[in-house]
């Protein structure tokens, strides 16, 4: 998907509502994953393809994380910055394509929600590797991405019929996620399902 496609997605009220509801499921799942991670108020977290940044806003408020949010679509990043300012939540914002990030800075947690499924082939492998390259040794990757499951395909077919399906994406299988972890020398700590089985949550650790 290119920037023009994201412009259409972010201007849809339907997508904004669905994104908010999905965010509640992912946040609840993230709280469960925290028991597998060592965190403190010094924890540095980066979200790639942050969009509205709603999940991170709530995580910073609760855990006081040092957060960085990256997106390459300026209007949504500007909106997110205003929302953080209104809520008096501090974070660093980077307007950039994730494929152009440098990896000098490393993070304790690298998060993405609804990002990697939008890439295919080499770019898909590269997008996953970028998460790893930004993670400190001993740090964690947390990725939320659609699962090629019955519930995903039913939901997608309904939306396609109703004309409310707006994105181009290829859902993951567990096998593909595990293969990517192995190819990047990551320990997969937990792969669970959320949103009625239609999405994966992956927690992996960089050795």
Ligand X SMILES: C[S@@+](CC[C@H](N)C(=O)[O-])C[C@H]1O[C@@H](n2cnc3c(N)ncnc32)[C@H](O)[C@@H]1O
Q: Is residue 54 within the footprint of ligand X (CB under 6 A)?
A: yes
Three-state secondary-structure class, residue 192 = strand
76 C-beta neighbours (distance < 10 Å), count: 20
Could you tell me the two tokens for 115?
A: 């990002």
Nearer to ligand X (CB atom), residue 31 or residue 182 = 31
Instruction: Determine which residue in the list 65, 73, 140, 152 makes contact with ligand X, applying CB under 6 A.
Output: 73
> Min. distance of Cβ 77 from ligand X in angstroms?
8
d(CA 166, CA 204): 29
> Min. distance of Cβ 29 from ligand X in angstroms?
13
Q: Is residue 83 within the footprint of ligand X (CB under 6 A)?
A: no
Instruction: Determine which residue in the list 12, 74, 87, 97 makes contact with ligand X, applying CB under 6 A.
Output: 97
Question: Does the CA dihedral 42-77-23-126 come out positive or negative?
Answer: negative
Compute the radius of gyration of the chain from its Cα atoms.
16
Question: Contact residues for ligand X (CB under 6 A)?
Answer: 6, 19, 23, 49-52, 54-55, 70-73, 76, 97-99, 113-115, 118
């Amino acid at each position: 998907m290119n920037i023009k496609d994201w412009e259409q997605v972010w201007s849809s009220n339907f997508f904004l509502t669905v994104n908010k509801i999905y965010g509640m499921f992912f946040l609840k799942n993230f709280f469960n994953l925290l028991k597998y991670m060592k965190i403190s108020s010094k924890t540095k977290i980066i979200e790639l393809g942050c969009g509205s940044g709603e999940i991170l806003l709530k995580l910073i408020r609760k855990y006081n994380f040092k957060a960085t949010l990256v997106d390459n679509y300026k209007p949504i990043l500007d909106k997110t910055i205003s929302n953080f300012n209104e809520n008096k939540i501090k974070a660093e914002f980077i307007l950039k394509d994730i494929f152009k990030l440098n990896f000098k800075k490393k993070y304790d947690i690298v998060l993405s929600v609804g990002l990697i499924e939008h890439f295919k082939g080499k770019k898909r492998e590269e997008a996953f590797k970028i998460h790893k390259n930004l993670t400190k040794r001993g740090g964690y990757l947390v990725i939320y991405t659609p699962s090629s499951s019955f519930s995903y395909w039913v939901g997608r077919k309904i939306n396609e019929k109703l004309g409310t399906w707006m994105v181009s994406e290829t859902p993951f299988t567990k096998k593909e996620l595990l293969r990517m972890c192995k190819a990047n020398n990551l320990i997969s700590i937990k792969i669970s399902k959320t949103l009625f089985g239609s999405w994966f949550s992956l927690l992996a650790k960089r050795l």
